[in-house]
Each structure stands twice: as C-alpha cells, then as structure tokens.
C-alpha cells in the first residue's frame, strides 16, 4: 500500500464515492447472481440433460460455500488486508463466472458455482467494512444508504434480468454478464482503495474455529435449503445434519469466546447496537426474502403473469426503496434514524396486511402499489438499520461486526424462505381439505354450481358425460386456486408478524456517528 509523501496532506476520504462505486459493484454482482440463476433452472436442466432436482445443486452449492465464507470475512480481511482480500474475492468470482458459462456438464457447473460462492461470500461484508471506512463519521448514514441501495436493488433485479436473458439469449449469459462488472469493480478498487486504517494481522490461524464454523454453518444451511425436499425430520440425513449443526455451532461459540484471536470474534456482540441490529436484521431478512419469494409465486401461479411481467413489477419495489434511501443519505445524519426504522417497520407490516387481502382477481395496478409500498418501507428500514448496527465499531471490530450482521441477515432469509415454502405447501393442502369438507357439507350449493358448469360445457358442444368430467375438473381447479390464495394470505401475514416482533429492538440501537467498540 502506497502512502503519500512526507509532509503531504493526505485525505483518506478524498475518493469515497469512487470507492463506493467499486465495492458496491462487487456486492451487487454477488446479490444478483444469487437470484438470477433461479429463473434459468429449467433451461439449464434441459441443456445439460439432468433433472430439476439435480440442477438445484447449482443454487444450493453456491449458497453453501458463500455462507461458510461469510462469517470468516472479518478475520480473513484482517489477515490479508481488506483491499487485497476484496480484490482476490472479486477475481475469484469473476473467473468462476466465466467458467460457469462455459460449463458443459453438471459436475463442472456445480464445481465452478462452489468457487463462485467462495469469492462471493466475502464481497458483501467486506464491501460494507471498506465502504464505512471510506466515509467520515458524520457521513455514515450516507455510506449505509449506498450499501443499502445495493442490498435492496440486487435481489429485485436478479429475477428480472434473468428472465430477460433467458427469454432473448441463453443461460450462459447470466454468468457472462458478470465479467465486465467484475473487471470494473476490480479496477476501481485497485486504484482508489487503501487500507488507511491499519489492522493488526492475527498472529495465529484459528483452525479449530474454522473447522467448527464451516461444518456447523454448512450443515445448518443445507438443512434450511434442502429440508423441505427431504421432508424435514422424517429424513435421517436432515436429523443428522441438524444435530451436527447444533453441536458444532455451540462448540464454536464456546471456543471463539475462549481464544484470543478467533475466526469470528463474537465479543463484538457486547456492543448493544450491533446485537440488537443483528437480531433485527434476522427478522428483516426473513421479511425481505419471504416477501420476494411469495410475491412472484402469487403473480405467476395465481394471476398467471409471465416471468418478465412479474420481474418488472418487483423492480418497481426496488425503485421505491431507492427513492426512500436518497433522503436518508442526505438527512439521515441529522435526525434520529431510529424513528425511520420504526415507521418503516409499521409501514411494512401494513403492506403485508394489505397483501393478505389479495384475491385471484386483483388488478395489476393494485398489486403494483402494494409492491411499491413494501419497497418504500424497506428503504426506510435498511439504511438506518445498517448504519446503526455498526455505528459504534471501527477498525478490526468493524470487519467482524459486518460479518455478524450480514450472516444473521442471510440466515434469517434462509430460515424464512424454508419455513414459508413449507408452510405454503402444507397450508394449501389443509385449506383444500377444509374447502372440500365445506363443499360436501353444503352439497346442494355445490350441486347447483356443478350443474351450471356442466350445462355451460354442453353448450360449447361437449356430450353429457364429457361435460360432467369437465365440470368436475373445473370445480377442482377452483378449489385448488382458492386453497393457495388462502395460503398466500397467511404467508404474507406471518411476514408482517415477524417484522412487528422486531420492533422492541429499535430503542436499543445507537444513532450513527456515536462511538463505541473499536479495536485494531
């Protein structure tokens, strides 16, 4: 790292906006790649000649490797230096993206997705730490707004961009588009980022902590990602991995609090604001990923929108988030942003309550404004929450705190997705059984409706027996549709409840700009 000549006045914040551009490009690239693959699953399956179940390892493998690396980023950044570690991670991610696009077998693709995850897992937390060091203390909310913009917009752009690429090009291009972004991020960061805050390099490698963390987090993430596929605890594999995850993570916590130089310094959670912010991030992750999971499903399964239309509607929510983040960037350092977090949480809960009243006949304009409301609420929450959570951290503690904050957000999102996906399926089945029971118990009304449907099919030219079967199939479709509508209503309500449950944590957050835990 070069330093200015002796006697020269050195401004460590001179290139903060260029630094922000470089690190956010890397972080957004990782976030987009997490969700962009989902819309290309069918195309990849057909092109590679494998089943849908097999191709899901392209998604699961990436998430597993990324989430294992994520909590280690604070230590790795201290050991190698944040600048060098970020540049190496961008390079790994970009090179792996190229080889993902050129893969011709499932084995090749999964291998390079694992490599991608090893690079991508570092990008978000390290980008946050670099970004917060690049801005002076009185502009921490501005840094949080820039970071938050990427965190909100990335997941929303992914499905939209993926749908457009798969529709008009071919699936390898969902990986090739990373190449110019990665190269630009690498160039900007290498030119303007300097580790002007010297971090003390760890004197020893915490091999025990690394092993416990990798096995524990990896096992937990596998359970969350594949638990529903294996029917949860009816599977011996899921039971064994759950026990392994609990045992390793508890052992890891005990070990990390005992050693002097842990791979994940949990002592940063002594900072009240980080502890409260991380718990809130867990709930927010469940809410953010839960709503982004449920909304496109509702649009495609219930309203029969195509992927591109659904993606563009979701993008309007990201635009609303960005619009709310702009005033936070400008005025957030002058106000108590905890009020914004509280107001945004209430607005998000209200939006989810309104979502729970959707029907199969909802107008596109109504759906659009509900997504915009949800996006605006997230914009009001994410920026001040990110700034408040790490407001009291600096130096080495900032790296570990960023890792903890982003890990809890990721795990909250994974847990929320797993629980909501399972709940949606099972609740729809229960709703169907209840609706069938109700239709049977009020048989005369059902009989009249069935007769009306049968006459309608006969009027179109079907004979008596064919019309009867068509009427029964149509009635069964109505029951199925309504059972899923009710299940989606419940899912949206649970997302709102999760956000409201986190509200008591808001008073424990610190205002950005206040000092607290440090450490080098």
**What would the pLDDT profile of 286-316 be if each residue is shown by its tens digit?**
777 777 777 777 877 788 777 667 777 777 8
Q: Is residue 9 part of a domain?
A: no
6 lies in some domain:
no
Judged by phi (left if over 0) then psi (alpha if -120 to 50, else beta), residue 428 lies in alpha
What is the average pLDDT score of the chain?
79
Q: Are residues 408 and 371 in the same domain?
A: yes
* Residue 1 scores a pLDDT above 50: no
Q: Are residue 251 and residue 283 in the same domain, yes or no?
A: no
**Residues 254 and 380 placed together within one structural domain of the fold:** no
Q: Domain check: are 373 and 328 in the same one?
A: yes
Q: Give the rounded percent of residues in the chain with a pLDDT score beyond 70.
A: 84
Q: Are 311 and 296 in contact (CB under 8 A)?
A: yes
- The string of pLDDT tens digits covering residues 419-437 is 777 788 788 888 777 777 7
Residue 372 located in a structural domain: yes
Q: Which residue do the tokens 């059972």 mark?
A: 483
- 229 and 198 in a common domain: no
Query: Do residues 213 and 151 share a domain?
Result: no
| Shared domain check, 197 and 106 | yes
Q: Looking at the predicted structure, is the pLDDT value of residue 520 above 60?
A: no
Which pLDDT belongs to residue 358? 81
Name the DSSP class of 469: H
Q: Predicted confidence band at 156 (pLDDT cuts at 50, 70, 90)?
A: low
Q: What is the DSSP letter of 259?
A: S
The string of pLDDT tens digits covering residues 232-266 is 888 888 899 999 999 998 998 888 888 877 877 78
Q: Are residues 299 and 400 in the same domain?
A: yes
pLDDT tens digits along 207-234: 888 888 888 888 888 888 778 778 888 8
pLDDT value for 304: 77
pLDDT at 11: 61
Q: Is residue 4 part of a domain?
A: no
For residue 2, being part of any structural domain is answered with: no
Nearest to 423 by CA among 474, 512, 498, 473: 498
Where a domain ends, among 167, 187, 205?
205
Asked, for residue 5, whether it belongs to a domain, the answer is: no
SS (H, E, C) 122-153: HHHHHHHHHHHHHCCHHHHHHHHHHHHHHHHH
Reported confidence tier of residue 516, pLDDT bands at 50, 70, 90: very low
Q: 156, 159, 157: which is closest to 167 by C-alpha? A: 159
| Domain match, 238 and 332 both | no
* Two structure tokens written together for 144: 């949080």
Query: Residue 329: is its pLDDT beyond 70?
Result: no
Q: Percent of the chain, pLDDT > 90? A: 8
Helix (H, G, I), strand (E, B) or coil at 215: helix
What pLDDT shows up at residue 88?
A: 92
Q: Residue 291's domain spans which residues?
A: 268-520
Which among 91, 121, 108 has a CA at the least distance from the CA of 57? Answer: 108
**Per the domain annotation, does 1 fall within a domain?**
no
Please identify which residue in the block is written with the tokens 């982004």: 292
C-alpha 414 chain-centroid distance: 8
Confirm whether 173 is domain-assigned. Answer: yes
- Judgement on whether residues 52 and 184 belong to the same structural domain of the protein: yes
Confidence of residue 199 (pLDDT cuts 50, 70, 90): low
CB burial string 436-469: b at 16+ within 10 A, e below: eeebeeeeeebeeebeebbeebbeeebeeeebbe
Cβ-Cβ contacts under 8 Å for 314 (sequence gap 6 or more) = 156, 159, 160, 292, 295, 296, 371
Could you tell me if 432 and 402 lie in one domain? yes
Residue 431 and residue 317 share a domain:
yes
Residue 63's domain is classified under what CATH number?
A: 1.20.1250.20
pLDDT for residue 5 is more than 50:
no
Write down the pLDDT at residue 448.
64
- How many domains does the chain fold into? 3
């Amino acid at each position: 790292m070069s330093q200015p000549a002796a006697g020269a006045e050195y401004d460590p914040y001179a290139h903060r906006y260029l630094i922000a551009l470089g690190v956010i490009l890397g972080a957004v690239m990782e976030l987009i790649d997490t969700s962009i693959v989902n819309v290309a699953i069918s195309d990849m399956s057909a092109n590679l000649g494998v089943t849908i179940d097999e191709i899901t390892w392209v998604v699961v493998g990436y998430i597993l490797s990324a989430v294992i690396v994520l909590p280690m980023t604070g230590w790795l950044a201290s050991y190698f230096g944040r600048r060098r570690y970020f540049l190496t991670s961008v390079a790994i991610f970009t090179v792996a993206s190229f080889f993902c696009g050129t893969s011709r077998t499932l084995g090749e693709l999964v291998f390079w997705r694992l490599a991608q995850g090893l690079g991508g897992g570092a990008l978000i937390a390290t980008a946050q730490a670099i970004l917060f060091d690049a801005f002076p203390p009185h502009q921490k909310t501005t840094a949080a707004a820039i970071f938050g913009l990427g965190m909100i917009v990335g997941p929303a752009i992914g499905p939209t961009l993926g749908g457009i690429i798969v529709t008009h090009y071919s699936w390898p291009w969902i990986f090739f588009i990373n190449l110019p972004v990665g190269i630009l991020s690498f160039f900007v960061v290498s030119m303007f980022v300097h580790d002007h805050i010297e971090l003390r390099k760890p004197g020893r490698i915490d091999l025990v902590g690394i092993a416990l963390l990798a096995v524990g987090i990896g096992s937990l993430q596998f359970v969350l990602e594949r638990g529903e596929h294996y029917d949860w605890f009816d599977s011996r594999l899921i039971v064994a991995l759950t026990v392994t995850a609990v045992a390793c993570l508890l052992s890891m916590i005990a070990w990390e609090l005992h050693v002097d130089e842990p791979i994940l310094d949990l002592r940063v959670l002594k900072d009240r604001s980080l502890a409260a912010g991380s718990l809130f991030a867990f709930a927010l992750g469940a809410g953010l990923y839960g709503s982004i999971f449920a909304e496109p499903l509702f649009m495609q399964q219930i309203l029969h929108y195509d992927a591109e239309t659904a993606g563009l509607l979701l993008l309007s929510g990201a635009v609303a988030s960005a619009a709310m983040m702009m005033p936070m960037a400008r005025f957030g350092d002058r106000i108590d942003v905890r009020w914004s977090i509280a107001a945004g949480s209430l607005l998000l809960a209200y939006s989810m309550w309104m979502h729970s009243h959707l029907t199969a006949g909802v107008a596109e304009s109504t759906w659009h404004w509900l997504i915009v409301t949800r996006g605006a609420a997230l914009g009001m929450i994410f920026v001040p929450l990110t700034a408040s959570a790490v407001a009291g951290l600096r130096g080495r503690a900032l790296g570990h705190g960023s890792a903890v904050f982003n890990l809890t957000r990721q795990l909250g999102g994974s847990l929320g997705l797993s629980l909501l996906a399972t709940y949606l399926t099972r609740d729809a089945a229960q709703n169907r059984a209840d609706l069938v029971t109700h239709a049977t118990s009020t048989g005369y009304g059902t009989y009249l409706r069935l007769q009306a449907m049968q006459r309608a099919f006969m009027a179109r030219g079907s004979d008596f027996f064919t019309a009867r079967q068509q009427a029964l199939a149509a009635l069964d479709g109505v029951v199925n549709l309504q059972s899923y509508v009710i299940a989606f209503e419940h899912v949206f309500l649970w997302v709102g409840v999760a956000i409201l449950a986190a509200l008591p944590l808001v008073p424990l957050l610190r205002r950005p700009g206040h000092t607290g835990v440090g450490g080098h």
